[in-house]
Chain A
């Protein structure tokens, strides 16, 4: 309720100043985001829908698209479960090392994905990783296989759910949960019936951001995947490959598909969200 009050209180500034600010922001976003994205679309359709037909009939590309979706979905599921758990831990409990954990959670945002990839190889690499050879001996291949790619994707998208859910949990407070407990609900019933519905939109938003981020992950996945055609090559890697091989039509068409899914996610959420909020 309070945030709506603040929003309604528009600053009474100089009118010209406001227009200048508006123009600057619009121009900035236009040249940085809208125009380049539009050009990707235009280039993708430069030869009509021929580029799309090409990539969609290429079994290697369709495999890459499927792989991307599978990895993204698995990574999002993992990140959602752990993200909600970590958020509840951070907001509702006090424990030593809480600040350190909090800081650690921001690490994936600040570390370059390529570093993440290299780090994972150091730990799980099949030949001379710290943990990898023993896993490989037991029959689990992590690096240059799907598990490693999922791990890399989970790593880079880790904080997105947490950062969306934590503020919502803080705002909701724990009185409703206490009320549920006093009415006889156990921890799980309280979570499912009270906590989850009240953080629902934070979770949805976090999931969408994670999904968009996971679909688009490039650096970390490139390092750990080995980029094997038709096996561990994801959609973003296809874009790079096609671009470097002067297949610009294919590169732009694949890039357009990736961008389309991400934009669609965000549009769907922003259309749904205001309806729910009172």
Chain B
């Protein structure tokens, strides 16, 4: 067990950032702390790094109690969202910083820095100042700097948050490959569920200072523990009192088909390869169904058609705690009991 967090609590004034959080982060894996902004995930990361002190609880890193240790004694690498590049130092000196502090020999430092610059593909930028690098290059430099001290754990706080979408995606792939190469225990914070699902071995979902669920990306996506996780990890739509994924719903038009919830198509929108079909059930509930282009063509539905909605077998669902959202008033008569009591769930 690499990082063991037990019963950690942290308040900022009246605001509870972390409420009795316990998580075990396994060695050598790439773990994502996923959750909405202000949910406490960055605070947890900073507590692991020692940049923030927990009010209560314990943090153990590789079997060493780190609760009271200052950051410089924890041997963690930390990568900040806004790079935190040392602006007055060249890229080389930035990467060498931790080694210089540790009083390594000049030759050692030079060798190690060369290695790291090669690892992050910045060999030819060594003598530049951070201001002369692009955002993606700066973040790679920050990563090399953090890796230089051979940290027991590498912590990244929204590492790609300040980058544009394309660079973000590249760096995401690159981080995954880098991790497969260096195998250092890595924890990164993100609010982007796609990023977490794509990169991480394990995801810890944190919301309002509490851990909602811990598991592999597949676990979380296929077996969400609660409504929050279900909603946060992907698109949802509500059918009766169940939250389901729009792409797990199927439509049928056959007149003889008795299964499923009857409704009427109100809208068909095509977004690239997928099509979103808006359906109003006979109970007045607005449901979104996502179909592929081919499915839509095979079905041949148009606005105004009568359809039946069914949930594909073994699809993840959670019970919604919020009342079913009723359709926009302009599309339907105001519906008094929005609950869809006569829903028959088929599976």
Give A contacts to B, CB under 8 Å.
175-176, 178-186, 189, 193-194, 197-198, 278
Contact = CB atoms under 8 A, between A and B. Distances in A.
A73 to B, nearest CB: 27
Given A182-B72, A186-B72, A175 B80 contact: yes
8 contacts: A178-B84, A181-B51, A182-B72, A182-B74, A182-B77, A184-B72, A185-B97, A278-B129
Contacts of A193: 97
Contacts of A180: 86, 97
Nearest to B148: A183
Given A179-B142, A179-B145, A182-B71, 16 more contacts: A175-B84, A176-B86, A179-B80, A179-B84, A181-B50, A181-B70, A182-B74, A182-B76, A183-B145, A184-B102, A184-B149, A185-B72, A185-B101, A193-B97, A198-B88, A278-B129
Contacts of B86: 176, 179-180, 194
Nearest to A182: B78
Interface string B86-102: 11100000000110011
B98 A184 contact: yes
A47 B285 CA distance: 100
B76 A189 contact: no
Contacts, number: 62
B29 interface: no
Contacts of B50: 181-182
A189 to B, nearest CB: 6
Contact of B72 (A176, A181, A194, A198): A181
A184 B101 contact: yes
Majority DSSP secondary structure for residues of A touching B: helix
Leading 8 A-B pairs by shortest Cβ distance: A183-B98, A175-B84, A182-B78, A179-B84, A181-B71, A197-B88, A184-B101, A184-B72
B82 interface: yes
B131 interface: yes
Given A178-B51, A182-B51, A182-B77, A189 B88 contact: no
A186 B70 CA distance: 9
Contacts of A194: 86
A181 B70 CA distance: 8
A189 B50 CA distance: 18
B214 interface: no
A175 B49 CA distance: 13
A178 B75 CA distance: 13
A185 B74 CA distance: 11
Contacts of A278: 129, 131
Interface string B328-344: 00000000000000000
A183 B84 contact: no
A273 to B, nearest CB: 15
A193 B100 CA distance: 11
A50 to B, nearest CB: 50
B209 to A, nearest CB: 22
B101 A178 contact: no
A40 B97 CA distance: 53
A182 to B, nearest CB: 4
Interface in B45-82: 49-51, 70-72, 74-78, 80, 82
A111 B64 CA distance: 56
Contacts of B101: 183-185, 189
B116 to A, nearest CB: 13
A106 to B, nearest CB: 28
A88 B45 CA distance: 25
B115 to A, nearest CB: 17
Contacts of A198: 87-88
Nearest to A197: B88
Nearest to B142: A179
A183 B95 CA distance: 10
Contacts of B131: 278
A183 B149 contact: yes
A278 B146 CA distance: 26
A132 to B, nearest CB: 44
